[in-house]
């Protein structure tokens, strides 16, 4: 049933009803929309480790696959998982650009190239929406860094904005995404939630995109400015600037009635398209409906293994070190912190609660290689910033939990009387939001107490870590060891939460003697709160390093796993440099010195410094590969699967070679995109600078030959490139054939991924749309004259050429 909406009802639809849902008008046929954050899966609103969901490879890992068909299947998997969890809209994919290797959320971006980003983003959208879950592309636009993102103004010229930063969103619009999420920052002086020149003029009017535009959470700044700038929905609810104020703005003549009607229509259309009524049930895909159920666990795991391996990028393999053959290397040592403490994902508010039985790389390697794995040594501390604390709850709450801490939430700052809520949490990093977590209603003069029993495995000095968004106190066996009475201002809480900084106190403990640990947090009003803690036992860094060296010396081959922890790439904070931790760099040098037959496996979500690469015989980038990291890695190292990835970003030889590096706005808050369209591989090529690991580079376990490029016009300015591809090796494998235009700067214009059997030859076809041969000069303008089309395996290996004349 549908009917005309009143002005008050239209205004109601312009603001969220709750933190994660929109308003409903049932008798007008407008259901509420339930949302969840992404893009690596369906993030639980409570940020609770018990709220387990499927964790897919990160967008950077999917970007490394260069495989739209695979990415579409992953999008479909997430869409089905959303249905299982009662979610209508996913806030994904993230279509921002990996402009700088320092970007804190680069792992959430597909690539540094807008065509690769846009094509994979569109594939993800098609997959997600094929089962009836809407996709909200984010963050429009130029939210390509995190430093001061709430006030930063991206200063970008029109050509760069159109050809680079808007292109992925244009492709998302063509894919029919449910809507778009506006960024926190400004672009050319306008808040993105008020950026009429982008939202209204370009996306709505020029692209004729019919979907809705919503703000990022708490990202609105005005009523009339937001509506007139094209925003349709303020999130979260209850309303701050829109909602009933939208109707008032119309009544006062600040906003045209047609604009309010358009906003409500867009929200209502999305709700009718993707919302579910209370009795609606998803059906099996293919049964006369576009709804679909999640994949069975086994099929989902198989897809996630395939997707992880599809992004693994082999950039060095001297003398065919990989795949590993136990017959040639009967004694294999596994070394490095990420073998036992892998980084499955980065640290955003869209963090997924991973299944507790996710197989660690070290366990998967032992299962696959058996007795050939003769030793494991981490070499360095696997949790350098915030170590875990293995504890058992202080009280039995009858929930069957025997690990973790007892959490008591109080409605007073004295933490007196009975708690209003208690739970057992097996995590050492807690966050709760107003209106989401039950304790979020405790807004002022409230407190939380975490308590549990810790038993030291050896005697000695133990380091206790404690951090939080308010006043803190640490007690061990009733004795106060730390106290800080500082209270944060509401505007400072989010910064403290995102930084994750902790104080450290040294306390002596005796082996096997249980001690009671109590951590207390007192806080004032804020929309979110957080508490984190951990314990590091005795044991020197040098002893760990020596043990790893000894294991390496006694092995025929070494698998050395280095990389990041989940707090290395975080929301609202960019990185200080491109380096791995110094202790890991020392580990690489010392292990490779005692055993050059080393495979370095990196677990990093972005471009980073790899000047150590020549020290090892093989280097495999795994990015952030999701929950099936262990199984995928074991299968690829053993040769059961192909490492299918190619570089989605450029790794420069020196930091100074990156066309865009610094992400620090100037004193006016301006961040100038002075590199224009020439960033990443484009900028290096324009300056004649070679990359250490070029964009598009990588290989599998076989070899290929390219020949005979041909190009023909297909009408309307479109072209088709054909190339003969032959597998010259002895194994089946995949190759990514890439096409670049040479003028006015090197630019990817098309690609395809093909799988060939040994000796097989195939004609591969790459469609090149007319837009790929145009530049923005006040309007889209076709390049004139002869255009050189270069074909090869990476931006730095383009041996074939054909010409197009326009």
Q: Which residues are catalytic?
A: 216
Tokens coding 380: 């360095």
Q: Helices 361-369 and 629-638, interaxial angle, to 10°?
A: 40
* 323 prior amide bond cis, ω within 30: yes
Q: Is the dihedral of CA 662, 668, 674, 676 positive or negative?
A: positive
109: CB partners within 8 A, 6+ apart: 59, 60, 63, 94, 95, 96, 97, 98, 103, 117, 144
Please, what is the Cα angle at 99 between 767 and 683, to 5 degrees? 70
Residues 6+ apart with CB under 8 A from 12: 23, 25, 243, 244
- Among residues 125, 96, 70, 80, the alpha carbon closest in space to that of 311 is found at 70
How do strand 421-425 and strand 405-410 relate by DSSP bridges? antiparallel
Q: Which residue has the tokens 């990041």?
A: 564
Order of strands, sheet of 800-805, starting from the edge strand that comes earlier in the sequence: 747-756, 733-741, 786-792, 800-805
Is the separation of the CB atoms in 564 and 608 below 8 Å? Answer: no
- The DSSP-derived string for 40-84 is SS---TT--TTSB---PPPHHHHHHHT-HHHHHHHHHHHHHHHHH
d(CA 198, CA 189): 12
- Specify the 3-state DSSP secondary structure of 366: helix
CA angle 454, 457, 458 (to 5 degrees): 120
Contact 465, 535 (CB under 8 A): yes
């Amino acid at each position: 049933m549908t009917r005309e909406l009143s002005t008050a009802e239209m205004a109601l639809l312009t603001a969220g009803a709750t933190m994660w849902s929109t308003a409903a008008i049932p008798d007008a046929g407008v259901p509420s929309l339930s949302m969840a954050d992404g893009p690596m899966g369906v993030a639980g609103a409570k940020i609770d480790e018990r709220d387990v969901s499927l964790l897919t490879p990160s967008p950077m890992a999917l970007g490394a696959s260069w495989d739209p068909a695979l990415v579409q299947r992953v999008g479909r998997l997430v869409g089905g998982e959303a249905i299982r969890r009662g979610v209508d809209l996913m806030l994904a994919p993230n279509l921002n650009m990996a402009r700088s290797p320092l970007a804190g959320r680069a792992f959430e971006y597909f690539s540094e190239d807008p065509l690769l980003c846009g094509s994979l983003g569109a594939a993800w959208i098609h997959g997600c929406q094929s089962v009836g879950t809407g996709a909200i592309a984010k963050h429009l636009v130029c939210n390509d860094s995190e430093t001061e993102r709430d006030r930063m103004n991206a200063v970008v010229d029109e050509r760069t904005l159109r050809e680079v930063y808007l292109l992925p969103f244009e492709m998302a619009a063509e894919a029919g995404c449910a809507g778009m999420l506006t960024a926190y920052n400004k672009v050319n002086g306008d808040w993105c939630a008020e950026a009429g020149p982008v939202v209204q003029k370009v996306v709505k009017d020029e692209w004729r995109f019919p979907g809705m535009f919503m703000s990022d959470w708490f990202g609105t700044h005005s009523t009339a400015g937001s509506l007139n700038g094209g925003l349709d929905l303020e999130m979260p609810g209850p309303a701050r600037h829109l909602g009933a104020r939208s109707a008032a703005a119309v009544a006062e003549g600040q906003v045209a009635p047609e604009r309010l009607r358009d906003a409500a229509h867009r929200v209502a259309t999305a709700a009718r398209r993707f919302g579910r009524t209370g009795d609606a049930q998803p059906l099996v895909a293919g049964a006369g409906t576009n709804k679909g159920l999640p994949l069975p666990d086994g099929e989902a795991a198989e897809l996630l293994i395939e997707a992880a391996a599809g992004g693994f990028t082999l950039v060095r393999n001297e003398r065919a070190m990989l795949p590993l053959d136990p017959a040639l290397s009967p004694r294999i040592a596994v070394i490095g912190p990420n073998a036992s403490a892998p980084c499955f994902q980065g640290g955003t508010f869209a963090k997924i609660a991973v299944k507790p039985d996710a197989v660690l790389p070290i366990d998967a390697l032992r299962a696959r290689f058996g007795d050939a794995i003769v030793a494991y040594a981490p070499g360095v501390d696997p949790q350098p910033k915030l170590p875990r604390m293995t504890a058992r709850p202080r009280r039995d709450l009858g929930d069957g939990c025997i690990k973790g801490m007892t959490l008591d939430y109080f409605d007073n700052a004295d933490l007196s009387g009975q708690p209003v809520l208690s739970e057992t949490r097996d995590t050492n990093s807690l966050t709760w939001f107003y209106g989401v977590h039950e304790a979020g209603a405790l807004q002022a003069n409230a407190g939380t107490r975490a308590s549990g029993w810790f038993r030291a495995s050896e005697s000695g000095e133990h380091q206790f870590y404690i951090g939080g968004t308010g006043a803190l106190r640490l007690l061990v066996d009733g004795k106060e060891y730390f106290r800080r009475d500082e209270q944060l201002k509401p505007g400072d809480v989010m910064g403290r939460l995102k930084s994750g900084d902790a104080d450290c106190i040294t306390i002596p403990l005796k082996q096997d003697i249980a001690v009671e640990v109590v951590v207390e947090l007192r806080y004032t009003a804020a929309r979110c709160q957080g508490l984190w803690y951990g314990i590091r036992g005795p044991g020197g860094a040098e002893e760990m390093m020596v043990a790893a060296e000894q294991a390496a010396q006694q092995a025929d081959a070494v698998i050395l796993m280095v990389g990041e922890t989940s707090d290395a790439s975080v929301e609202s904070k960019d990185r200080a440099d491109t380096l791995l931790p110094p202790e890991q760099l020392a580990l690489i040098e010392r292990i490779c010195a005692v055993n050059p037959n080393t495979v370095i496996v990196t677990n990093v979500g972005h471009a980073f410094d790899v000047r150590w690469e020549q020290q090892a015989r093989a280097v495999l980038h795994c990015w952030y590969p999701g929950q099936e990291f262990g199984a995928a890695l074991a299968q690829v190292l053993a040769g059961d699967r192909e490492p299918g990835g190619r570089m989605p970003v450029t790794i420069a030889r020196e930091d100074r070679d990156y066309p865009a590096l610094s992400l620090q706005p100037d004193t006016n808050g301006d961040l100038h995109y002075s590199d224009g369209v020439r960033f990443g591989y484009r900028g290096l090529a324009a300056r004649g600078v070679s990359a250490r690991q070029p964009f598009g580079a990588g290989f599998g376990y076989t070899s290929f030959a390219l020949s005979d490029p041909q190009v023909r016009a297909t009408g309307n300015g479109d072209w088709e490139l054909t190339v003969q591809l032959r597998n010259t090796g002895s194994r089946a494998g995949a190759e990514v054939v890439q096409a670049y235009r040479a003028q006015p700067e090197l630019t990817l214009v098309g690609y395809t991924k093909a799988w060939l059997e040994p000796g097989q030859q195939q004609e591969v076809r790459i469609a090149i749309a007319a837009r790929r041969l145009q530049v923005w000069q006040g309007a889209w303008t076709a390049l004139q004259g002869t255009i050189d089309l270069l074909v090869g395996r990476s931006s730095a290996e383009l041996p074939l050429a054909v010409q197009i004349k326009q």
